[in-house]
Amino acid sequence: MDKKLYEELNNQIKKELYSAYLYLSMASYFDFLNLEGFAHWMKVQAKEEFGHAMRIYEFLNDRGERVIFDEIEKPTSDFSHLLMFLKRRLNMRKK
């Protein structure tokens, strides 16, 4: 496999896993606030991102390439700005 392609696919796995990690962080925030619907939706999104990572993993593995995992940065855990946005949108819809 072309070295550049191999590196980019490994990097994309990292991006997909970070996205899953971020969605789980959002789910945790919404679970803490007892916003079960939002938490569920974020968990669904996390599973989807993890699925993307696994498809690339299998693609590389099927071609005899080794997947190399890089460090994934810590996602934010404060989503109060997101909650404020959602509350504003809800109030706008009620008017």
Total structural domains within the chain: 1
pLDDT on residue 12: 98
The region of weakest confidence among 7-11, 12-16, 65-69, 82-86 is: 82-86
Stated pTM of the model: 0.85
Looking at the predicted structure, is the pLDDT value of residue 54 above 70? yes
Q: For residue 37, give its domain range.
A: 3-94
What's the whole-number mean pLDDT along residues 44-59?
97
Of residues 90 and 95, the one with the higher pLDDT is: 90
Neighbours of 1 (CB within 10 A): 12
Looking at the predicted structure, is the pLDDT value of residue 95 above 70? no
CB 63 within 8 A of CB 1: yes
**Based on the number of CB atoms within 10 Å of its own CB, is 71 exposed (0-12), middle (13-18) or buried (19 or more)?**
exposed
* Cα atoms in the Cβ-side hemisphere of radius 13 Å centred on 27: 15
CATH number at residue 80: 1.20.1260.10
